[in-house]
Amino acid sequence: MPKEKKRTGKYCVAAGCTSTNADNVSIHEFPKETKRDLRRKWIHFVKTKRQDFTQPTRYSVLCELHFAPECYPAEYRIKQSLGIEVKKKRLLPDAVPTIHLTVPKPSTSTSTNTPLYQASPCTNASHVPETGQPIATSTPLRVAFRKRECLRTVSSVGVQCSGRKPSQRSKKVQTKIKQNDKAVQCDLRPEKPKVCSIAVQCNRNLEEGAESVKPCRIASTTVLEHGYLSVPSSEDEAEDKETDTDYCPESADELLSSEISSNDGADHDDNMFQKTDRKYIVSESKLMGLFSICPTCSFSTLCQIKKVLGTMIKIDQSCGMCGFQRTWDSQEMIGAIPSGNLSLSAAILFSGLIPSKGLRFLNHMNVAAIALSTFHQHQKYYLHPAVSTLWKEFQNNYFDQKTKQGDGLVLGGDGRVDTPGHSAKYGSYAMLDMDLMLVIDIQLVQSNEVRGSFHMEKEGFIRSVDFIESKGLKIEKLVTDRHLQIQKHVRENTTHNYDVWHVAKGFKKKVTAMSKLKDCESLQPWIKSLCNHLYWVPASTPSGHGQLMLEKWQSVCNHVQNIHEHDGDIFQSCEHGPLDEQKRRKKWLEKGSKASVKLEELVMSKQMQKDIPKLSPGVQTASLEGFHSVINQFAPKMFGFSYQGMLSRLRLAALHYNENGMREQAFTKDGQPQYNIIYPKFKKGGYTVREVKIGYVSKLMDIVFSNARESKISQVEVERMEAPPPLCSSFEKPDKASAILEMKSRYRQAENVDEMNDDGCC
């Protein structure tokens, strides 16, 4: 019996609870001395069931099992309802424990009988019962008590034995030979062994006489008695091909249309087996060496590779001495599809790998793998439907929760194109819930659906808004970039704000270019401060007052000239304290200089006066930029994908982001927030290691294998999407033969021209 791993860490001090942070539950330290009332309530809760508890120490904690769900932020309950696991939970500031664990009371009628090995109080050894006889007790006993009782029993039996010969047990009962059963894939059927030609399978020296035949070793009787080997008869061969789940049809057409033979009651176990079953890379020579000896008579056998189906191999083994034959499969079959082939296709797509590069990598290693066409077939019938199913399940759960709450949505939106410039083929638009930081919708637009690539972002925005409103939800606030077409389309009853990062990004480019002009070099040290001031304007105005933010922004023109009193109606002086001129490194700009005039023109421009009052004072769309970097991992811009392939990879990126994007800040042992300074890569600075969660991949694998097991490949319901026609569909496709003939005629014309030029030269 394996030794139980010792649990370490802080234990919960509540009565009847021994939870630690190793039990996948959140633990919470007692409030500090500064919060006396709250700390007293926690102590009173523990003393209710534990009279011996006095004061908590630095190791005293309470686990989450003693707190009601209302003691945690509402976003935890929403995430759990959406299937997103929250590992480290934080309590609300005024949370008080109220739940005591129920300790089962001992009962004489319904309690489980615990076996206890006990000796009878006798003086003669003949009256001592066997040590293996259990005595049932009606109440549950502690583990330590049972150990002490067993030790006392053993010692008492040793004292009470008499001089008679002690009873003994047979060693054959007390010992068990540990054997490994290797040939477990067959059944022994000795009635009608299948006989093959001896002239083909035997050595030619056997024909000279019986004297040349060497005696073979007798196989282990244990293997024969358990029937782990099978010798299929010729009469049962046709039946076995129909009923055996390892049978694989010969032709490719038969492979695609054959029935899936599975046990409905074992679907869940099969899925678990596929996920936990490990795969190894084995060389062909080592594998064939395992089939060179007959498992029944230990004579040399003939073995050959019957068929290779992608990552699966089928080996035929036959023995000329005893007639043993079998066909061995390297992996399980999911209907007519080898499980390794489907797993490889799923792993390529779900990890964001490019199929051509992944299969080329296996080809360079000389590892048997599937063809690219097989991957596309698996992707069409199984992988795309699985991604669509899981994504729609997440969306339905989210919309159901929001509909029950009845609150308006605070969303952030941003677009992305698959290639830079104005020649993009695809454009996607993502909507992010700014409260939960979850991507709730993503729309894909092809360039030929609109007038041009520039209009794809607006079309994606319109589709996303219409889809969300069709679910009965109201968009209360919307944060986007300064896209002109989106500005005009936003509803009047929706608060529309601009993301500060996009505004600061454009402003920084203009100031940087301005600082490179002649007599404007003094602006260079002020670039960072100007951008920080732009971020400070909405952050210091939580009410979102547009006129106040505009006056704060325009005050920077006076500040850089060492003027801290302004002419605004609301904001009339800088809010910073006295400035130490000795510690300053930047020089003030001179009033009337070219640098100050150029800066004032940029700050007071019409574009900035329109954008500054609409800056978002709270939520920002910086998280969407992080989501776009995740999309680059699943759908790189240097590769082209089909419409359905691009949509599936966008949804995979959204599922990955939703499971990994919302990480809480780490805390030190003292409960203080932990910060880490990140340096650029070329400086070889510090880095942070974080756990990447891919629980969604396990769910996708379950859906893929379940769909493949329950239906034929020709009957899988492919998602019928109204995908736009390809870009090349608008052009006339020439006949292949005529195109080749035209190409050859051009070459002949060029050759004739060259010959004429050569003849004309003298």
AA letter at 616? S
Mean pLDDT by runs of 10 across the 762 residues of the chain is 60 87 86 90 91 87 91 86 82 91 54 37 38 40 49 42 48 50 48 46 40 37 32 38 38 35 45 72 93 92 93 94 93 89 94 95 95 94 93 94 90 86 84 92 92 88 93 91 84 82 92 92 92 93 90 92 87 85 80 91 92 89 88 91 93 92 64 59 45 74 83 51 70 77 68 53 44
Kindly state whether residues 95 and 120 are assigned to the same domain.
no
- Measured over the CA atoms of residue 158, residue 163, residue 167 and residue 172, the dihedral's sign is positive
Tell me, yes or no, whether 187 lies in a domain: yes
What's the per-residue H, E or C state across 131-165?
Answer: CCCEEEECCCCCHHHHHHHHHHHHHHHHHHCCCCC
Tell me, yes or no, whether 645 lies in a domain: no
Cβ-proximal residues to 601 (8 Å cutoff; 6+ apart), any chain? none
pLDDT single digits (tens) 501-553: 889 999 999 999 999 999 899 999 999 999 999 999 999 998 889 899 999 99
Q: Do residues 101 and 15 touch, judged by C-beta distance below 8 A? A: yes
Kindly state whether residues 98 and 147 are assigned to the same domain.
no
Tell me, yes or no, whether 761 lies in a domain: yes
Kindly state whether residues 193 and 296 are assigned to the same domain.
yes
DSSP 735: P
- Choosing from 614, 635, 664, the residue where a domain stops is 614
Q: Where are the alpha helices (DSSP H) in 471-592?
A: 484-489, 500-515, 527-539, 546-554, 556-559
AA letter at 689? V
Q: Return the SS3 of 654.
A: helix
Tell me, yes or no, whether 744 lies in a domain: yes
Kindly state whether residues 72 and 152 are assigned to the same domain.
no
The structure's pTM equals 0.63
Kindly state whether residues 579 and 550 are assigned to the same domain.
yes
Kindly state whether residues 189 and 55 are assigned to the same domain.
no
What is the model's pLDDT at position 371?
95
Kindly state whether residues 34 and 96 are assigned to the same domain.
yes
DSSP 381: I
Tell me, yes or no, whether 3 lies in a domain: yes
Which residue range(s) make up the domain with 66?
Answer: 1-103
Residue 175 buriedness (CB in 10 A; 0-12 / 13-18 / 19+): exposed
Q: Number of structural domains, the chain?
A: 5
Kindly state whether residues 579 and 509 are assigned to the same domain.
yes
Kindly state whether residues 121 and 228 are assigned to the same domain.
no
- Choosing from 331, 361, 395, the residue where a domain stops is 331
Cβ-proximal residues to 439 (8 Å cutoff; 6+ apart), any chain? 430, 431, 432, 433, 627, 654, 657, 658
Beta strands 312-318 and 61-63, pairing class: unpaired
- Choosing from 588, 614, 640, the residue where a domain stops is 614
Encoded tokens for 180: 């490994």
Kindly state whether residues 189 and 319 are assigned to the same domain.
yes
pLDDT single digits (tens) 653-666: 999 999 887 666 56
Tell me, yes or no, whether 197 lies in a domain: yes
Tell me, yes or no, whether 683 lies in a domain: no
Kindly state whether residues 190 and 327 are assigned to the same domain.
yes
Kindly state whether residues 83 and 186 are assigned to the same domain.
no
Pairwise CA distance, residues 337 & 246, whole Å: 10
